[in-house]
Structure formats: C-alpha cells, structure tokens
Amino acid sequence: MDNNTEDLLKKIQEYEYKLNLMNVFQEFLININKKIEIDELAHYITNFIKESFNVKFCSLIINHERFARGEIDSEKLQESESRMIKEVTRKKDTLFVRNIRKDTLLFDLKNELELALMTIPILDESKIIACLNIYDDLEKINGKEIELMRTFLNKASLALSNSIKHSILKNKVNTDNLTGLYNRNYFMEKLNYELNTFKKFLSLIMLDIDFFKNYNDVNGHQAGDSLLKELALIINANVRDKDIIGRYGGEEFIIILPEADNSSALQICERLRKAVEDFQRSKS
C-alpha cells in the first residue's frame, strides 16, 4: 500500500469518525432536551458518559444530590468527590488526579482502588450548577476525551438549568410549608420510585413525637410548630445526603434510606435518637 492510499484511508476513517460523532451529538441534544425531571436527566447523562466514553464509573452531583452509574457507593469515594468538588468550585475548572490512593488531596482517605478521578464542572454562564465525576484506569483518561466530554456537558448545561428550575417550582408544591420536608403524597411517589429501582438494600424509618398533643395544649400551637421545625432540622443534620425525609402526618416523620442494610439503618436510628436526646437536654 503506497503513501497516498494510506493517507486516503486515514482521511476516510477520520471523516467517518466525525460523521458518527455528529450523529451521536445530535441524538444526545435531542434526548437531553426531552427530559425535564432531574432524576431522569441525570441518569441519562451518567449512562451516556459511561457507555459512550467507556469509563469505569461516573457520578453527577446536582444540588448536593448524587446520581451514580457503576458500583461507586463507597463513603471514601464520595468523600473524595466532595473534596474534588470543593477545589473545582474554588478554581471553576476541571480537576484531575492520576491516582486516588496516592494524590495528596485524597491520600488520608486510604481509598482501596487505584483509579484516576476527574471532576468536570458544568456551568450556566459563570455559575457551577453540577459536577461530573469520572473514574477510570490510570492510563485511559486523555486530553482529547476530556475536551470531548466538556463539549457534551456544555451543551447539557441549559437542559440541567431548566431541570433545576423545574425542580424548585415542583418542590414548592411537593414540600410541607412548615418543615420544608416532602409532604406525604410526594414522599409516597419517592418511595414507590425507590422500591422499583433499588439494587441491594432499602430501609425505612418512621418516628413521631411522644405526647405531642399534650405539648401543644400546655405550650400552644406556635410552640408546637417550632418544635416540629426543630425536629425537621435535627433529622436533616443526622441522615445521609441521599436519604429522603417526609412529614407523614401531624407529628409523624418518615425517612427512606436507599441502599442501607439493617446495620446501617440502626446506626442512623441511634444517631437520630442521640441527637434528639441532646436537644432535649439543651432545652431543659
């Protein structure tokens, strides 16, 4: 094969690659603009990145909510992502570490896996609205792929921004006015979704305030409302970011613990019990 033929074949291959990329890009744009719910959009983006770029794991963080594709539920990895995002937020630029076990930013976490981790911010104008975390083998992440991912994610920013705005409006309808927690109807929708999508474990906590009617009768309903707000804050502060909290009734609360086994759920229950006990003592 002479040089001219080789050059022609390379040009044909490059043309086919670009044509295929344009088709994938067009399909990506069509699909993301069809999805308004954050959960659905986030799952599509993480699935697309994992499959199209053949990365090991990836996760997308939107408004402190984490959507993952792949087996990356380790608390150490989630803490690694949090540290990466803090740096990305400060610098407003992509951050890349070649080895999560050895990098100085993450060394003390003692991650078990030897993987590269890249965190890419997704911006709406100059504001970071989401961050994508990508895990892969140490030698696989390269500059060309990073730029290509950025191109796709930049185009996703408008869809994400619209989805976030929709979520804010929806939350006003779906949250309890007093406590800011999910109301019962919307919580049951969330529970139904988790029941149909969980992988290994799913736990549920129900709790209420003992003798709440007596407390209201003695102290007045305004004091009762304040107590409900305080308890909502205590619950929020003592569960995981991915846990889902609802106000089930007057003084009844309910919590979904995705992927929490019995042992993990009991630990969270004990943490809540201790926090409430400490709160009672502080008021005595």
Q: What are the pLDDT digits (tens) for 72-126?
A: 667 888 899 999 999 999 988 999 999 999 999 998 998 888 899 999 999 988 8
Dump pLDDT digits (tens) for 23-69.
777 888 888 888 888 889 999 999 888 888 888 889 999 988 889 88
Task: Determine the 3-state secondary structure of 101 from DSSP.
Answer: coil
Beta bridge partners of 175: 182
Which are the catalytic amino acids? 251
Dump pLDDT digits (tens) for 231-240.
999 999 999 9
Nearest of 72, 83, 134 to residue 106 by alpha carbon: 83
Residue 275 has pLDDT above 60, yes or no: yes
Residue 150 has pLDDT above 90, yes or no: no
Question: What is the CATH number assigned to the segment(s) 33-169?
Answer: 3.30.450.40
DSSP E strand boundaries for the chain: 57-62, 65-69, 95-97, 116-124, 127-136, 202-208, 244-247, 252-258
Q: Where are the domains of the chain?
A: 33-169, 184-283
Share of the chain above pLDDT 90, in %: 48
Token pair 């209201």 is at which residue? 216
Residue 1 has pLDDT above 70, yes or no: no
The domain defined by 184-283 folds into: Alpha-Beta Plaits (3.30.70)
SS3 content of the chain, % helix, strand, coil (to 5): 55, 20, 25
Q: What letter would DSSP give residue 102? A: T
> What pLDDT, on the 0 to 100 scale, is given for residue 26?
82
Q: Which range among 39-53, 72-86, 138-152, 154-168 shows the weakest confidence by mean pLDDT?
A: 138-152
Helix (H) or strand (E) holding 15: helix 3-32
> What pLDDT, on the 0 to 100 scale, is given for residue 30?
85
> What pLDDT, on the 0 to 100 scale, is given for residue 282?
85
Structure tokens at 186: 């919307």
Report the alpha-carbon distance of residue 72 to residue 113 in Å, rounded: 11
